[in-house]
Amino acid sequence: MTRFILRRLAGFVPVFLIIATLIFFLIRMAPGGPFQEGERFVPPEVLEQIRDTYNLNAPLHVQYFDYMRDLLRGDLGPSMQQPSRTVSEWIVLRAPVSIELGAYALVVSVVLGLFAGVLAALRPNTLTDYVPMSLAMVGICLPTFVMGPLLVLGFALKLQWFPVAGWDTAAHKVLPALTLGAVYAAYVARLARGGMFEVLAQDFIRTARAKGLSEARVVLRHALRGGIQPVVSFLGPAAAGLLTGSFVVEKIFQIPGLGKQFVEAAFNRDYTMLLGAVLFYAVLILAFNLIVDIAQAWLDPRVRYD
């Protein structure tokens, strides 16, 4: 198991450097820049000094090696459009909100999805199966930018149960978490149903029932561990989707998270802020994928020897 974890960790560094390289050059290939004379009405001599300050007048390969040198030292540089703070300070300020939103959405997706999927697998081809799976299909078809306004219209404006926007109290966090988690709850429900349905047909489940074990013990103790393996495999991509999906949700509900900061940086062509945010999300996703790999190896020892 230790060797399994070390192999996964060893792959982090090259993947991280490849992501940093691709994002650096892709951002530079986009039209425009952070300091456009025609948009900002900056005198040419002032614009030249600003570009020198941020090393933008240097050849592209020099900019790349300088940035990678600073990155390896842990320096993400100053924000080009909001120089009052460095990129690292903005991430420290805004990232906890995005992580909190993602955690709430992940809990919503796993709890609702597992409950619906296990319930459907226990009673296949009945209303208990058809209703949650139909709702899951609706959840898959509705993107967050449609789900969010619908929830606001129904629960905030019509029923007035929750606030429309903000991130101050527990009530402010319900609708954003539901919006972000509902789509992935639908995927989890369908994966859990398929996994549980397959496991419940295995011989060892029939043996457990023949021994007189209660249905709850059979499901929770014997079937669930194997049935949720497709769900565990899905949690890696789901975490990436929850993090990137928070961009839209944070904009809809005016949440002061890193996703909103990322969108503003993209509009303002803030190179350093964009790079820092992408790399931060990349580290989070790589770490979460490692956790998922460890969980899979714990659930199925065969994974350790593949």
Interval 52-73: pLDDT, tens? 777 777 788 888 888 888 888 8
Query: Do 62 and 100 fall within a single domain?
Result: no
Q: What angle do CA 251, 248, 177 make, to 5 degrees?
A: 90
Model pLDDT for residues 235-249, shown as the tens digit of each residue: 777 777 777 667 788
Query: Do 66 and 98 fall within a single domain?
Result: no
Query: Do 199 and 51 fall within a single domain?
Result: no
Least confident of 56-70, 136-150, 234-248, 261-275: 234-248
The CATH code of the domain that includes 218 is 1.10.3720.10
77 φψ region: left (φ > 0), alpha (ψ -120 to 50), beta (else): left
Let me know if residue 84 belongs to a domain: no
Question: Tokens 């300088």 — which residue?
Answer: 66
| H helix or E strand, kind and range, residue 222 | none
**Containing domain of residue 68, as a range?**
14-72
Q: For 76-80, what is the mean pLDDT?
A: 81
- Contact partners, residue 245, CB within 8 Å, separation at least 6: 105, 144, 180, 183
Let me know if residue 38 belongs to a domain: yes
Let me know if residue 19 belongs to a domain: yes
- Range from 37-41, 170-174, 246-250 that averages highest in pLDDT: 170-174
Query: Do 33 and 98 fall within a single domain?
Result: no
Q: What pLDDT does 195 receive?
A: 82
**Which residues, listed in sequence order, are joined to residue 86 by a DSSP beta bridge?**
78
Would the pLDDT of 40 be above 60? no
Query: Do 240 and 197 fall within a single domain?
Result: yes
- Contact partners, residue 116, CB within 8 Å, separation at least 6: 132, 133, 135, 136, 185, 189, 192, 193
Q: What pLDDT does 53 receive?
A: 77
Residue 272's Cβ-count burial label (10 Å; 0-12, 13-18, 19+) is buried
Q: What pLDDT does 37 receive?
A: 47
Let me know if residue 122 belongs to a domain: yes
Predicted TM-score (pTM) of the model is 0.73
Let me know if residue 50 belongs to a domain: yes
Query: Do 244 and 121 fall within a single domain?
Result: yes
Let me know if residue 133 belongs to a domain: yes
Model pLDDT for residues 175-223, shown as the tens digit of each residue: 888 888 888 888 888 888 888 877 877 777 778 778 777 777 777 777 7
- The secondary structure of 112-164 as a DSSP string is HHHHHHHHHHHSTTSHHHHHHHHHHHHHHHS-HHHHHHHHIIIIIIIS--S-S
Q: For 91-97, what is the mean pLDDT?
A: 85
Q: Above pLDDT 90, what percent of the chain? A: 0
Q: What pLDDT does 42 receive?
A: 62
Q: What pLDDT does 120 receive?
A: 83
The answer to whether 140 touches 134, Cβ cutoff 8 Å, is no
Query: Do 48 and 194 fall within a single domain?
Result: no
Q: What pLDDT does 241 receive?
A: 74
Query: Do 104 and 64 fall within a single domain?
Result: no
pLDDT grade for 299, boundaries at 50, 70 and 90: low
Query: Do 37 and 108 fall within a single domain?
Result: no
- In whole angstroms, give the CA distance from residue 101 to residue 160: 21
Would the pLDDT of 172 be above 60? yes
Query: Do 19 and 146 fall within a single domain?
Result: no
Domain end position, chosen among 225, 242, 259: 259
Question: When comparing pLDDT for 7 and 73, which is higher?
Answer: 73
Task: Give the chain's domain count.
Answer: 2
Let me know if residue 195 belongs to a domain: yes
pLDDT grade for 229, boundaries at 50, 70 and 90: confident
Q: What angle do CA 251, 94, 166 make, to 5 degrees?
A: 45
Query: Do 27 and 169 fall within a single domain?
Result: no
Let me know if residue 296 belongs to a domain: no
Query: Do 136 and 253 fall within a single domain?
Result: yes
Q: What pLDDT does 247 receive?
A: 77
45 φψ region: left (φ > 0), alpha (ψ -120 to 50), beta (else): alpha
